[in-house]
Each structure stands twice: as C-alpha cells, then as structure tokens.
Amino acid sequence: MGMDEAKINSFDLKQRLEALKEAASDIAPLSVEAVNTHLHTFFSFNAEDWSPSRVAYEAKVRGLEVAGTVDFDVLDAMDEFYEAGKILDLRTISSLESRTFVNDMADKDINSPGEPGVAYHMGCCFTRLPEEGSEAAKTLAEMRSGARERNIAMLDRLRGALGELEIDYAHDVERLTPSGNATERHMLAAFDRKARLMFEYEDKVIAYWAKTLSMTADEVKSIISNKAKLRNTIRAKLMKKGGPGYVQPDATTFPAVEKMISMVKACGGIPCWAWLDGTSNGESDAEKLCDFALGLGCEAISIIPDRNWNIADAEVKAIKVAKFDALVEESRKRGMLITVGTEMNNYGLPFVDNFDAPEMKKHARLFRENAYALYGYSKLQREEGVTELPQENDRLKRNRELARIGGFPAGACV
C-alpha cells in the first residue's frame, strides 16, 4: 500500500497513526548499525514538516537501531512517538530542548555564539508529563509561553522592517505547527509565504526582498527559488545580531539552567548538556566542562557530530575534530551518556549520521551503546515504573546494564 504522506503528516493525530499502521506492513527495513536520538518534529520545527509518526516511519525504513525525537519547549511528540515505536517495533525515546541562562558562566559564550551565559539545554528520556499543579508543570508551561512571548516581541520589532508585509502571529505563524508551538523558522516560513501571496509575481517578490534585505535584485533572484537559502538569508539579515528583530539576551530572557534541570528530574528525565563544537571560551576545556555539567546534575551530553567533522576547510576541520574527540573521551571517562543525531530542524541536514566516516567510526560503538542505554532507561520507566536514573558510583557499569536492558548485542559493550 505504501505510505500516505498527507495523512502521516496531518495535524490530526488519528490520521497520522492510521497512516502509520497502514504503511507498517510494507516496510522492508535496511540493516544498519546507526542511531539518531536527536530528531525534531513538526511540534517545534522539522525542515521536511515531518510528524513524530513520519520520523518513526523513516527511522524504521532506514533501519535505525534507536530513534529519538527532540522538540523545543514542549513534549507534544512524546506519546505519539512511543506509540509509533510500538506499531513499528522500533526503539524510541523522547527528549526536549530549550534555551537557558547559566549564571556561573554569565561572561562566557557557551553554545549560543555571541550570547554570553545563554545555553541550549536538553532533557532526555521523558516518558511522562509533570504532575498537574507541580512546580515542574509550571516550569514546562512557562517554557512554552516564554517562547511565544519572545516570538511575538520579535515580530513587533520587525514590523517596521517588513513594511507592507503584514503578519498576524496567530493566523500566519502559529497555524503552521499543530499545537501552536512556533519557532523562528515558522516565522520565516510565514514571511516567505505571505510575500509570495501578497506580491503575486516573482519580480515583485524579488523587488520586495531586495528592498527589505538591502540586497540587489540579482542577489535575491539567485536565491528566490531556494527555500533554504532565502529563509536563512532573511533570518541572518533581520533576526540575528545586528538585525532589527534582535535583542541581546541576558539573565532575564531565559530560565536559569538549574530550573530546567529540576523540571527534567521531576519528570524522570535525564538532564543533558548540549555541546556545540568546543571553540567558544565556555566550551574550550572539555574536562572542565564535563565536570561542571556533572556538578549541575547532567548525566548526559548531546552532540551533533556532522558539524564537528564534515567540514570542507581542512584547518577548521582539524581543530573541530580534535575538540570533538576530546569531548567524547572526557564524557566516556565519566560515564556520561552521549546522545547523537542530526536535528533536521534546518534545511539540508542528513537524516542520520555517517557512522562509517573515519571520524565517526572510532566512536560509533560507544554512540550506539549509549543510545541503547537511553532506550533501556526509557523502557524501565514505561514498563517497570522506574522514576529516576539509577545513581551509581560506576556509571560505566550502569550504562552497560542499561544498554543490555535496551537490547544492545551481547559482548558489544565498550
């Protein structure tokens, strides 16, 4: 029968799951040794507009051993992704990402370049929402509402720059995602779509963006048919530092990292430090960073490997690969679980890392084992009612046991 793309990406959950069940019997999965535990869905932003069910379908088709969703500020994909895992017999986990402020590093760039003290942060292996009325529930609700308020404030700052392009946040932006949890990339999609509707002819669209972005018509013409390039250019010109929509964040812009960590733990999740590439002054010392993260209660590290080795410039690549290797080694020595993936929240990103690349191959077994361990912990929560990650002096031993529970092949643990 094949997969019904419209149904599986529908904003109607019933349709999505029906489409997944209909397609499940026709899947002939590849046999690979690869994982991806960092995949965004359309509940925050997926560059292909994929639902959690579609992400699960693609993971199964491509033979992933473990797959994990990550969305900004919400857990809206969680229940669906676990249900999809049951339908497809796929190992699944569900995580959350947000931006926080690290007061102890207020004077340092961390993983958000040019924004001292600001840190993307994660919680892994959620299997339940916080208890209604709890402090954790309040924090999660504030994360969602805070993101919305920041977006609306940015749109208000941009109105003058956008000129005749009139954008209604609720109608033009929030409706692009099923639960209204819009991101900057949804705003970009709204700007792009509205301009094409308002100005109708391509030459008028080109003239509008040339004027708005202070570019020549030829420069805009060269990217107007490339959605990724156009939208990323709009973002760089209007929404990033130096643009009219940008405001430098500070300690009042995002919740303190400790507050998010407390929420993650209250839900049974694993606080996870997100790492960029090791080149900022806040990330440059892998040993110090891992100790700091552990001290905060982070038992895991998130890495997006592709941006740390798949680099054309040989000099830059050498620096980033060395930083990548150091971070992996320091995490491994401490028994910090490592979650890896490709995000898919920007255009052109691969669905899965190339685990056969030399820079990845030396770490591949560790990455795979840790993904199985994350799944193993998620399984313990859902099937046995475990409410917190086991705390042991020997984290490496604990991780191996979790990986075994998760189904990692016997004798393959590192």
Q: What is the pLDDT of residues 60-105, one digit of tens each?
A: 999 999 999 999 999 999 999 999 999 999 999 999 999 999 999 9
pLDDT tens string 305-325: 999 999 999 999 999 999 999
User: Do 115 and 147 sit in the same domain of this protein?
Assistant: no
Distances (CA, A) of 239 to 153, 156, 247: 12, 12, 9
For residue 58, give its domain range.
Answer: 20-129+267-405
Residue 93 in any domain: the answer is yes
User: Do 34 and 75 sit in the same domain of this protein?
Assistant: yes
pLDDT tens string 254-301: 999 999 999 999 999 999 999 999 999 999 999 999 999 999 999 999
Residue 401 in any domain: the answer is yes
Question: What per-residue confidence (pLDDT) applies to 141?
Answer: 97
User: Do 219 and 288 sit in the same domain of this protein?
Assistant: no
Total domains present in the chain: 2
User: Do 39 and 93 sit in the same domain of this protein?
Assistant: yes
Question: What per-residue confidence (pLDDT) applies to 24?
Answer: 96
User: Do 359 and 291 sit in the same domain of this protein?
Assistant: yes
Question: What per-residue confidence (pLDDT) applies to 1?
Answer: 61
Mark which of 224, 239, 254 sits at the end of a domain. Answer: 239
Q: Name the stretches of the chain with pLDDT < 70.
A: 1, 410-414
Which among 99, 150, 93 is positioned nearest to 259, based on CA atoms?
99
Residue 137 in any domain: the answer is no
Distances (CA, A) of 399 to 69, 208, 293, 372: 21, 55, 18, 9
* Domain of residue 313, CATH code: 3.20.20.140
User: Do 401 and 274 sit in the same domain of this protein?
Assistant: yes
Question: What per-residue confidence (pLDDT) applies to 390?
Answer: 87
User: Do 223 and 175 sit in the same domain of this protein?
Assistant: yes
Percent of the chain beyond pLDDT 70? 99
C-alpha angle with apex 276: 126 to 91, nearest 5 degrees? Answer: 30
Distances (CA, A) of 363 to 122, 127, 329, 334, 355: 22, 28, 9, 16, 9
Quote the pTM value: 0.95
User: Do 96 and 165 sit in the same domain of this protein?
Assistant: no
Percent of the chain beyond pLDDT 90? 95
Residue 152 in any domain: the answer is yes
Helix/strand/coil percentages in the chain, nearest 5: 50, 10, 40
Question: What per-residue confidence (pLDDT) applies to 2?
Answer: 80
User: Do 274 and 379 sit in the same domain of this protein?
Assistant: yes
Average pLDDT, the chain: 96
C-alpha angle with apex 379: 377 to 381, nearest 5 degrees? Answer: 75
User: Do 169 and 217 sit in the same domain of this protein?
Assistant: yes
User: Do 394 and 276 sit in the same domain of this protein?
Assistant: yes
User: Do 350 and 298 sit in the same domain of this protein?
Assistant: yes
To the nearest 10°, report the CA torsion of 34, 40, 42, 45.
-140
Residue 28 in any domain: the answer is yes
Question: What per-residue confidence (pLDDT) applies to 414?
Answer: 53
Residue 11 in any domain: the answer is no
Question: What per-residue confidence (pLDDT) applies to 411?
Answer: 58
Distances (CA, A) of 108 to 112, 134, 149, 355: 10, 33, 26, 32
Question: What per-residue confidence (pLDDT) applies to 392?
Answer: 80
